[in-house]
Amino acid sequence: MDRNEVVLVGRLSAAAEEQVMPSGDTVTKWRVIVRRRWAGQRPGKRGGSLADSIPCVTFDAATAEIVRGLKPRDRLEVKGSVRCRVYGPPGAKMFRYEVEARSAAPLPPAPPEATEQEPSQEVGDAPSRTAHRELDGQGAPLPAAPPETAEQEPSQEVGGGLLRHVPGGLGGRGVLLPPSPLQATEKGPVQATGDAPSPVGAT
């Protein structure tokens, strides 16, 4: 028993067009983009997708009205049969294959496909981003960002001098600097060291 049935699920490539035939009948034409999965057809490629643009026609008014109500890139399902039309002068015949649709129905948008790249994940204290290597396909974390320079701590006054914290110097310890002449002027003369402090301003 012969059988000629076609079911297409894809996207409308462009708005449907109408054409009046010499017989007076109106034919509605459109194309359906159907993705074709393939793998291992090209060296160095792990997989991908190709698309077939399949011509469709209908003489049914109800089916034509449904297709005309769709916008480009809308998903739809088409059911019909393959037709081979022959036209042209003798000796230069041309053959055209198309799907004569007996029904069409709009479909909801397809869910987005997951990409091959994995999301970022944290490793230790530094976030890493999974990168696909060309040889082994394993992910490798990116190097951690350089540490930020610590803010310099304020100077502290110790005795007659200033204790300044110098980053990276003396193992992180402070360095005692002698007082400046300005500080000595503001605070008065420095007392002499000995067994007993001398009074300031003594004659």
Q: CA-to-CA distance for 49 and 107, rounded, in angstroms?
A: 21
The partner residues of 49 in beta bridges, in order of sequence, read 37
What does the pLDDT read at residue 161?
53
What does the pLDDT read at residue 156?
53
Q: CA-to-CA distance for 76 and 140, rounded, in angstroms?
A: 42
Q: CA-to-CA distance for 164 and 50, rounded, in angstroms?
A: 69
Q: What are the pLDDT digits (tens) for 119-165? A: 334 344 444 443 333 444 444 455 555 555 545 555 555 555 555 55
Contact 53, 31 (CB under 8 A): yes
pTM: 0.51
Q: How confident is the model at residue 31 (pLDDT cuts 50, 70, 90)?
A: very high
At the fourth CATH level, the homologous superfamily of domain 6-106 is Nucleic acid-binding proteins (2.40.50.140)
Contacts of 106 (CB under 8 A, 6+ apart): 66, 69, 70, 74, 75, 76
- Number of Cβ atoms within 10 Å of the Cβ of 81: 12
- Enumerate the domain spans of the chain: 6-106, 156-185
Compute, in degrees rounded to 10, the torsion defined by CA atoms 189, 193, 195, 198: -10
Q: CA-to-CA distance for 177 and 169, rounded, in angstroms?
A: 14
Mean pLDDT value of segment 90-114:
88
CB-based burial, 7-28: b 16+ in 10 Å, e otherwise: ebebbbeeebeeeeeeeeeeeb
Q: How confident is the model at residue 176 (pLDDT cuts 50, 70, 90)?
A: low
User: Residue 177 belongs to what H/E stretch?
Assistant: strand 174-177
Q: Among 54-58, 61-65, 122-126, 152-156, which is the least confidently predicted range?
A: 122-126
Instruction: From residue 181, give the alpha-carbon distance in Å to each of 155, 176, 199, 200.
Output: 17, 16, 21, 18
